Amino acid sequence: MPGKKESHFFGTDLNSPRFIRDREIYLSLFSWAKDEKRVGESSVWYLYSKKAASEIKEFSPSASIIIMLRNPVDMLYSQHSQFLYNGNEDIACFEEAINAEDDRKRGLRIPPGVHFIESLFYRETVKYTEQVRRYYDVFGRENVHVIIYDDFKMDTVNVYRENLRFLGVRGDFQPEFRTINPNKRVRSNILRNLLQNPPQIVRVLGKFFMTHTLHQRFVKKLTSFNMKYETRPPMGTELRKRLQAEFALEIEQLSELLRRDLTHWCKT
């Protein structure tokens, strides 16, 4: 796996300046690869994209696909928190943010720092059934491995080993399993925005006074300083029940597609 996560080379129906679209730059992420049995990458929006599956298939016909799915209510709540952290969202209230979808589809109430507008269509991101079926149709069910986040959380080692068996690679290596991306928020939105989009004069002076490596270290330290880990407060009971009811049909259809009952997602 390359050091850079979420390159998003595929999925050309979604556009963001953060996505790598240059083929040579994308291939350079794997320049270290020699005789490895498996080489891959992870980009979360490949699932949401309507084009990514077919584009991956064209690029690598024998590719194996791994998808992890989480209870949609929990996923959206976590997604909103992450968007607040990285500047993709500016509505602090989760309920208000998901209720703003219709306005945003009309081009209204768009945050100035949005990465790509479609990411704010929250309910669209959890249409798991059509998303997974798209990969089944393109690659065949036997080449798509679906992980349920609940299983991964409760029995990480066994889920990891199932992954290795699916990929057909050796199973004698076990990494250290630990939480690497807990819930977090920024101390200052202003500093976050400056680090993400510094004024031109700052960029010029930075290149003049600092080497590229020193600049990266400086930005990394400031980003770390501006980050604070904190427990996400629980979602309101009434809102959770309303969303569970809203997604009930979707979860029934997903259960049928995966041949596994996930309807408890709408009851707990």
DSSP 250: H
Predicted TM-score (pTM) of the model is: 0.82
Q: What is the pLDDT of residue 209?
A: 57
Phi-psi region of 6 (alpha: psi -120 to 50; beta: other; left: phi over 0): left
Instruction: Specify the residue for token string 């979860």.
Output: 251
CA-based torsion, 176, 45, 18, 228: positive or negative: negative
Query: Which H helix or E strand runs over 147?
Result: strand 144-148
Nearest Cα residue to 6 out of 23, 16, 19: 19
How far is residue 241 CA from its own chain's centroid? Answer: 25
Residue 37 and residue 28: Cα distance in Å, rounded? 18
The predicted structure's pLDDT at residue 165: 95
Structure tokens at 55: 């584009």
pLDDT of residue 142: 97
What's the average pLDDT block by block, 10 residues per block, for the chain (268 residues)?
92 93 95 91 96 98 97 95 88 95 95 91 97 98 97 94 94 78 63 62 56 65 64 86 97 98 91
d(CA 67, CA 132): 8
Distance, CA of 41 to CA of 39 (rounded, Å)? 7
- The pLDDT value recorded for residue 35 is 87
pLDDT per position as a tens digit, 92-149: 999 999 999 999 999 999 998 898 999 999 999 999 999 999 999 999 999 999 999 9
Q: What pLDDT score was predicted for residue 234?
A: 85
